[in-house]
Amino acid sequence: MKQDEPKPEEELMLNGVSYTGESGATSGIPRRRWKWAMAASVLCAVLLFTPVCAHAGIFDVFGQLFGTIQSDIGDSLKSINQITQQVQQLYQTTMWPLAALNQARGFVANSISSFRNQMNQVFSTRYSSAVTAGPQQFESILHSRLSSQIPALGASFSANYGIVPQVNNAAPQDRLMMDMDDALGQENLKTTLIADQGADTILNAANQMENQAAVTTPGSNPYLSAQAQVANLRCQAYMQKMLAAELRQEAGRLAHDNALLKRRTTITGGINSLITGALTAR
């Protein structure tokens, strides 16, 4: 190589763009800025137009759904509403007329206000007639209408009617009849306490059913009827218990009379034997 030949200038690179001096700088930099501006513009256009298309598709889907609801399902709903209104009108005019319901409610309310207080007075009135202290206590226990007074009833019964005599103070058969008569008497008196308390329960249930009937609504009649049937069964059970106690008392009375007849027969037989022995001894 010749020494007088000029050396080629080294090409300088700046960010991938050849740098040749002032002239290269003035021509390369604006071109690069132009490319970046174009890319940014395209990206903005894509970002702006793409959501619009997506939103438009979603709105179309909702529009189709709303149209289906209004056209197909809407007609069915209208038919259902019309049938429901017709059934409701049938109930209000034919099956459960409002005027008749109000009339029945008014009748129940008038009955409650007219008769409940008088009936409560009849059921809660106590007819006390004892004068001395012992019978007065016994009578107050009988009218207590509480089954918890049963032990006090037994003690008061023994204090007023006496206890069974001792073994040497009465004949064995007489002691047995006394004991049996006292047992039957106390049993029936204790049963009356239980029955009175049960009657109060039945009356409270009847008052509640009357209150419900005064504000009853259509369709609740079967429930009120079921409650009335249950209360009726309870009342029948109490009546059966009282009838059983009465039958026991009557059976005890018959047995007592029969025991007296047997004793008289035995005494008569003994007297006949004595008379026969006295006549034959002569």
Torsion of Cα atoms, 161 then 162 then 167 then 170, to 10°:
-50
Q: What is the pTM of this model?
A: 0.56
- 193-210: pLDDT as tens digits: 988 888 888 888 888 888
b/e for 153-169, b at 16 or more Cβ within 10 A?
beebbeeeeeebeeeee
Cβ pair 194, 147 in contact under 8 A: yes
Residue ranges of E strands in the chain = 12-14, 17-19
Higher pLDDT, 26 or 246: 246
d(CA 184, CA 195): 16
pLDDT at 104 over 50: yes
Query: Which residue type, as a one-letter code, is found at position 277?
Result: G
Q: How long, in residues, is the chain?
A: 282
- Among residues 270, 248, 271, 251, the alpha carbon closest in space to that of 259 is found at 251
Tell me if 22 is assigned to some domain.
no
**Confidence category of residue 156, pLDDT binned at 50, 70, 90:** very high
Tokens at 142, concatenated: 């009988």
Tell me if 21 is assigned to some domain.
no
Confidence (pLDDT) at 152: 94
Confidence (pLDDT) at 153: 93
Tell me if 74 is assigned to some domain.
no
Tell me if 96 is assigned to some domain.
no
Sign of the C-alpha dihedral, residues 217, 220, 225, 226? negative
**Confidence category of residue 69, pLDDT binned at 50, 70, 90:** low
**Confidence category of residue 132, pLDDT binned at 50, 70, 90:** very high
Higher pLDDT, 69 or 118: 118
Tell me if 86 is assigned to some domain.
no
pLDDT, mean of residues 174-183: 90
d(CA 245, CA 192): 9
Q: What percent of the chain has pLDDT over 70?
A: 73
Sign of the C-alpha dihedral, residues 151, 155, 156, 158? positive
d(CA 110, CA 116): 10
Greatest alpha-carbon pair distance for the chain in Å reads 205
Q: What percent of the chain has pLDDT over 90?
A: 14
Cβ pair 150, 187 in contact under 8 A: no
**Confidence category of residue 2, pLDDT binned at 50, 70, 90:** very low
Tell me if 169 is assigned to some domain.
yes
- 17-65: pLDDT as tens digits: 454 544 444 444 455 666 666 666 655 554 454 544 444 455 566 566 6
Confidence (pLDDT) at 212: 83
Tell me if 191 is assigned to some domain.
yes
Confidence (pLDDT) at 40: 63
- Among residues 197, 194, 189, the alpha carbon closest in space to that of 155 is found at 189
pLDDT at 72 over 50: yes
Confidence (pLDDT) at 201: 87
d(CA 78, CA 83): 9
- 258-279: pLDDT as tens digits: 988 888 888 888 888 888 877 7
Q: Would you give the DSSP letter of residue 125? A: -
d(CA 275, CA 141): 53
Structural domain of residue 208, as residue ranges?
164-281
17-26, 110-119, 128-137: the lowest-pLDDT one: 17-26
Higher pLDDT, 157 or 45: 157
d(CA 243, CA 251): 12
Confidence (pLDDT) at 32: 60
What is the number of other CB atoms lying within 10 angstroms of the CB of residue 142? Answer: 20
Domains in the chain, number = 1
Sign of the C-alpha dihedral, residues 245, 251, 254, 256? negative
Tell me if 265 is assigned to some domain.
yes
pLDDT at 222 over 70: yes
